[in-house]
C-alpha cells in the first residue's frame, strides 16, 4: 500500500446488514421477515442456520462501534430492518425499532463515523410477501412509505442513504433461482420483481428527499464482470446476454436508457416475460431514472461464459484460477473495468464501492490471532484496482469493505466468513483478524 495514493477525503468504510448481524428477531416489537420464515423452513439454509441470534449486534452494538472506532473507520454502512420499523409492512410504526437505529447512529456519530443507511437488505416483512411480495407493485409503494418514515426519524443524523441493496438478488436470485427468500422459481415473477425493486428505489428516493432535505441517495447494484470464454460469436453472445442479465438490466434504466432491447428480446423469445405493458406504467421509467446523488455498487467476482445449448444461453466455464471459499474467482481486473465503464459509458459520479470482500475460513489460532493473509492480499489487489481507476480519472469517492464481522451468509448460514473481525458464534467473542490490523494501517495512511 506504500505506493498507492487515494484522494483527500476518500471515504474508508465497512459494511454489514441487519438480518446478517442483529439477531433479537423477537425483540423490540420487530415483525417477521421473509428471511425468518425462509431460514426456518427445512432445507433452505445449510444446516438449518438462521439469523435468530447472528452476531447479537442488537445487544452488542456499542462494543461493535468501539471496534469500528479502533479500526479508524470513517464510515459505516448498515441496514435498517423494515420489520423493526413497520412490523406489518405498512401502517403502524414501531417506535422501539426507530429508537434502536437512533441509538446506533448516535453511537457512530459520537465516534466520528459517518452512517450510511441501507433501507432494504432483503428482510421484507412477511405481511407484504403474503400480499404478493416484490412481483406486486404495491410492495414498491409500501417501500416508499417505509423509506419516508425512516428518513423523517433519522434524517437529522443520517445524510447518506442506499435504497435497495442488489436488486438482482432481490429479483432473480430470490424469485427465479430460488436460493434466497422467498425461494420462488418463476421467471415472470422475477422479472416483475426486478421492475418493482427499481421502482421502489425511485419512489423511495423521492420519499427520502421529501422527508430529509439535503439527503444523498443511491441504489446499490451488484455487478459481475462477464468475460467470453473465446472470441467465437456464440461465446461473445453468451457474454452479452450474461452482462445484460446481471448488469445492464438494472444499470440502463437507472441511467435513463430504459430496459435493454436485446434483453427484452431474449426474455420475450424464451417466454420469460410477465405482462410487461401492465407492469411498466407511464412515468415509471422517469421515476427510476431520476438522477441519484451518487452511484453505489458491490463487486466480488467475474464469470467466464461460453455458449450454451440455444442462442445466447450461457454456461459458466471454470478456469484454473484462484478462488475464494465461496468458489468465486479472484478477479480484481473486473473491478477496474467496471469502474472505467461506469465512468466513461454511463457517466456516473461520484462512485462508491459499497461492498467488496472475501470469505475465507480461518479459525482463531493458538496464539489468539486470526492469520488471514489471503484476505489481506485480496483486499490489497482490489484497492490497487481502485487506485488505478482513480489515476485513470474515475471519480471513485469511497470503498466499503464487506464485512466488518463474520455473519449469517444467507443460504450458506455461518459456513462462510467474510469478516475482518472473527466472531465465535457460541460465545459471541469478537477477535479482530490480521486483515483488520492491515485495513487500519491503510486507513491511517
CA gap 101, 153 in Å, rounded: 10
Near ligand IFM in 4-43, by CB under 6 A: 17, 20
Which lies closer to ligand IFM via its Cβ, residue 166 or residue 252? 166
Task: Say whether 355 is catalytic.
Answer: yes
Which lies closer to ligand IFM via its Cβ, residue 177 or residue 286? 177
- The 397-416 contact track toward ligand IFM, x by CB under 6 A, reads -----x------x-------
User: Does the bond joining 148 to the residue before it have cis omega, within 30 degrees of 0?
Assistant: no
Task: Say whether 141 is catalytic.
Answer: no
Near ligand IFM in 62-101, by CB under 6 A: none
Residue 216 dihedral angles phi and psi, to the nearest 5°: -105, 125
209: Cβ contacts below 8 Å, ≥ 6 apart: 215, 217
Min dist. Cβ of residue 97 to ligand IFM (A): 20
Q: Are 222 and 356 in contact (CB under 8 A)?
A: no
Min dist. Cβ of residue 166 to ligand IFM (A): 6
Q: Per CB under 6 A, does 298 bind ligand IFM? A: yes
SS3 content of the chain, % helix, strand, coil (to 5): 45, 15, 40
Q: Per CB under 6 A, does 235 bind ligand IFM? A: no
Near ligand IFM in 115-174, by CB under 6 A: 166
Min dist. Cβ of residue 425 to ligand IFM (A): 16
Residue 118 bridge partners (DSSP): 79, 162
| Helix 373-391 and helix 332-344, axial crossing angle in degrees, nearest 10 | 30
The three-class DSSP label of residue 307 is strand
CA gap 429, 417 in Å, rounded: 15
Near ligand IFM in 352-391, by CB under 6 A: 355
Q: Whats the size of the chain, residue-wise?
A: 445
Min dist. Cβ of residue 236 to ligand IFM (A): 28
Which lies closer to ligand IFM via its Cβ, residue 64 or residue 409? 409
Which lies closer to ligand IFM via its Cβ, residue 50 or residue 298? 298
CB atoms within 10 A of CB 3: 6
Specify the residue for cell string 453505489. 296
- From 107, 303, 355, 409, the catalytic residue: 355
Q: Per CB under 6 A, does 297 bind ligand IFM? A: no
> Where do contacts with ligand IFM occur on this chain (CB under 6 A)?
17, 20, 166, 298, 355, 402, 409, 418
Q: Which residues are designated catalytic? A: 166, 355
Amino acid at each position: 500500500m506504500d505506493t498507492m495514493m487515494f484522494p483527500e477525503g476518500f471515504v474508508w468504510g465497512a459494511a454489514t446488514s441487519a438480518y446478517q448481524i442483529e439477531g433479537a428477531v423477537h425483540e423490540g416489537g420487530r415483525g417477521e421477515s421473509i428471511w425468518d420464515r425462509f431460514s426456518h423452513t427445512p432445507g433452505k439454509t445449510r444446516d438449518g442456520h438462521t439469523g435468530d441470534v447472528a452476531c447479537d449486534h442488537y445487544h452488542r452494538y456499542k462494543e461493535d462501534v468501539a471496534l469500528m472506532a479502533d479500526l479508524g473507520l470513517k464510515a459505516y454502512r448498515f441496514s435498517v430492518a423494515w420489520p423493526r420499523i413497520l412490523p406489518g409492512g405498512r401502517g403502524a410504526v414501531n417506535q422501539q425499532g426507530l429508537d434502536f437505529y437512533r441509538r446506533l447512529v448516535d453511537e457512530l456519530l459520537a465516534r466520528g463515523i459517518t452512517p450510511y443507511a441501507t433501507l432494504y437488505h432483503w428482510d421484507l416483512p412477511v405481511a407484504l410477501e403474503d400480499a404478493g411480495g416484490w412481483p406486486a407493485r404495491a410492495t414498491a409503494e409500501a417501500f416508499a412509505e417505509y423509506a419516508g418514515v425512516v428518513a423523517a426519524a433519522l434524517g437529522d443524523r443520517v445524510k447518506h442513504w442506499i435504497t435497495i441493496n442488489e436488486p438482482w438478488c432481490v429479483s432473480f436470485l430470490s424469485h427465479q433461482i430460488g436460493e434466497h427468500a422467498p425461494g420462488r422459481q418463476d421467471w415472470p415473477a422475477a422479472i416483475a420483481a426486478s421492475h418493482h425493486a427499481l421502482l421502489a428505489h425511485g419512489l423511495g428516493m423521492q420519499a427520502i428527499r421529501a422527508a430529509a432535505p439535503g439527503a444523498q441517495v443511491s441504489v446499490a447494484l451488484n455487478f459481475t464482470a462477464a468475460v467470453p470464454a473465446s472470441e467465437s460469436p456464440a461465446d461473445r453472445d453468451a457474454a452479452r446476454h450474461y452482462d445484460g442479465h446481471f448488469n445492464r438490466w438494472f444499470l440502463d434504466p437507472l441511467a435513463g436508457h430504459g430496459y435493454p432491447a436485446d434483453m427484452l428480446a431474449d426474455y420475450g423469445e424464451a417466454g420469460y416475460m410477465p405482462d410487461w405493458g401492465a407492469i411498466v406504467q407511464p412515468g415509471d421509467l422517469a421515476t427510476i431514472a431520476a438522477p441519484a446523488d451518487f452511484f453505489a455498487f458491490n463487486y466480488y467476482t467475474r464469470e467466464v461464459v461460453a455458449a450454451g445449448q440455444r442462442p445466447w444461453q450461457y454456461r459458466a466455464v471454470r478456469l484454473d484460477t484462484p478462488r475464494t471459499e465461496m468458489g468465486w474467482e479472484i478477479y480484481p481486473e473486473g473491478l477496474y473495468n467496471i469502474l472505467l465503464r461506469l465512468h466513461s459509458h454511463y457517466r456516473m459520479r461520484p462512485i462508491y464501492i459499497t461492498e467488496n470482500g472475501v470469505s475465507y475460513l480461518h479459525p482463531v489460532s493458538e496464539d489468539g490471532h486470526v492469520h488471514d493473509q489471503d484476505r489481506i492480499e485480496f483486499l490489497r489487489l482490489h484497492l490497487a484496482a481502485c487506485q488505478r481507476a482513480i489515476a485513470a480519472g474515475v471519480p471513485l469517492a469511497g470503498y466499503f469493505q464487506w464485512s466488518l464481522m463474520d455473519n449469517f451468509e444467507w443460504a450458506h448460514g455461518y459456513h462462510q466468513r467474510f469478516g475482518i473481525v472473527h466472531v465465535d458464534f457460541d460465545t459471541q467473542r469478537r477477535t479482530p483478524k490480521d486483515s483488520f490490523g492491515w485495513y487500519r494501517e491503510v486507513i491511517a495512511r
